[in-house]
Amino acid sequence: MKAKITLKDIARELEVSISTVSKALKNSEEISRDTKEKVQAFAKLYNYKPNNIAISLKNKRTKNIGVVIPAIVHHFFTTVIRGIEKYANAHGYNVIVCLSEESFDKEVINMEMLANGSIDGFIMSLSSETQQKGDYNHLKEVTEQGIPVVLFDRITNEIDCDKVVIDDQFGAYMATKKLIDQGRRKIALITTDDYLSVSKARTEGYRKAFEESDIEINESRILKLSTMGIVDEERIQEFFDSNEVDAVLCVNEIFTVYSMRLVQEKGLNIPNDISFIGFTDGKLSKYANPSLTVVAQHGEKMGEIAAQMLIDKVESEKEEESFQTKILEPTLVIRNSTIN
């Protein structure tokens, strides 16, 4: 086991000072050509690599980004991580991922762990419990300490920071409108409780499309399910047993594919008897049978933008308190669960 070599080791071997070695490796003008070559050759030979921790301590910069998300098994979040990774790595940053598992406490603990020097900034999406409680003190604390934060997807207006979201309301509006235009009138909405910022916006978009077309909404056609844990299959079953619907808009992939299978088992044909539109352009949608028409959220893009915003803030010297909210346009990906 050959231990890592340090500046001190090189200095000792070459009988120069640590400062000289440090400067020589940085190709400083101060150091003679001879010495530089000697030091650099030696460093290369012994595969010297500076210790990141020491550098972090000195510059008060870790080149690490903390990402706190509610879950990782949701396709949308994994695509966002991918986007973050992509941009961050290209700019020399590492990504530390922490899962809140939709729990307020875990979110707080994870942030505290990371906030004490481990990272230069946060990219996060709020846990549903946090949004339900409406308690954002942990976020306030880090921003007050001067740690930049970028919120994405599940955001809050109570915190002043950069944000990236898609226009969820428009996405739902667009989808609902399409269903209406195709002559559907009994359009169900399967969503989650309103405290989730995205679900609320999507519900609004759904309502807006109806209002604009002067169609009355049948409130019993709106089903609100819990975000926690597994899908409440029984409630979905009941819902379809007791409601007549000719189209369904769902706020995530799982709700959609599960519902689709249910109505197929009842003997209905998709999309002839009933149309489906989901949110998130993931694999479930792509490989569903029939393949699913969805509102694409462009998670990877979102991740890249979030990373860019964060790194910009981290690397900008000035302390301007100007925050922006980027709103991405969702797009409708037409597949076979709607009439073409």
Partner DNA sequence: TATTAACACGAAACCGTTTTCGTTCAATAC
Partner DNA sequence: GTATTGAACGAAAACGGTTTCGTGTTAATA
CB under 5 to 8 A by kind: which of DNA, a copy of itself, none does 96 bind?
A: a copy of itself
Per the listing, tokens 């990906």 go with 333
* Least distance from a copy of itself to the Cβ atom of residue 56, Å: 5
Contact set for a copy of itself, span 242-301 (CB under 8 A): 253-254, 257-258, 260-261, 264, 283-284, 287-289, 291
Q: Which of 309, 304, 192, 312 minimizes the C-alpha distance to 254?
A: 192
Shortest distance, position 202 Cβ to DNA, whole Å: 44
Shortest CB 145 distance to DNA, Å: 12
- Which residue's CB is nearer to DNA, number 16 or number 115? 16
Distance (Å) of CA 33 to CA 17, 23, 259: 16, 12, 72
Question: Does residue 206 contact residue 176 with C-beta atoms inside 8 Å?
Answer: yes
Q: Are residues 65 and 95 in contact, defined by beta-carbon separation less than 8 angstroms?
A: yes
How many residues bind DNA, per CB under 7 A? 30
Q: Which of 51, 213 has the CB closer to DNA?
A: 51
Whole-number Å distance between alpha carbons of 316 and 336: 47
Task: Supply the DSSP symbol for 221.
Answer: G
- 62 is an interface residue for a copy of itself by CB under 8 A: yes
113 binds DNA (CB under 7 A): no
Give the residue, chosen from 49, 134, 214, 241, that forms a contact with a copy of itself under the rule CB under 8 A: 49
In the shown chain, the binding pattern of residues 39 to 58 toward DNA, with x for contact by CB under 7 A and - for none, equals ---------x-xx-xxx-xx
Smallest distance, a copy of itself to C-beta of residue 272, A: 16
What's 219's DSSP letter?
Answer: G
Can you name the residues that pair with 152 across neighbouring β-strands? 164
Dihedrals φ, ψ of 145, to 5°?
A: -75, -5
Q: Which amino acid is at 89?
A: N
Closest contact distance (angstroms) between CB of 88 and a copy of itself is 10
Pull the structure tokens for residue 190: 């399967």
Work out whether 30 is an interface residue with DNA (CB under 7 A).
yes
Contacts for 17 with CB less than 8 Å, ≥ 6 apart:
11
Q: In this structure, how many other beta carbons lie within 10 angstroms of the beta carbon of residue 87? A: 21
Site residues (vs a copy of itself, CB under 8 A):
1-4, 47, 49-54, 56-57, 62, 64, 72-73, 75, 78-79, 81-82, 85, 89, 94-99, 106, 109-110, 112-118, 141, 144-146, 253-254, 257-258, 260-261, 264, 283-284, 287-289, 291, 319
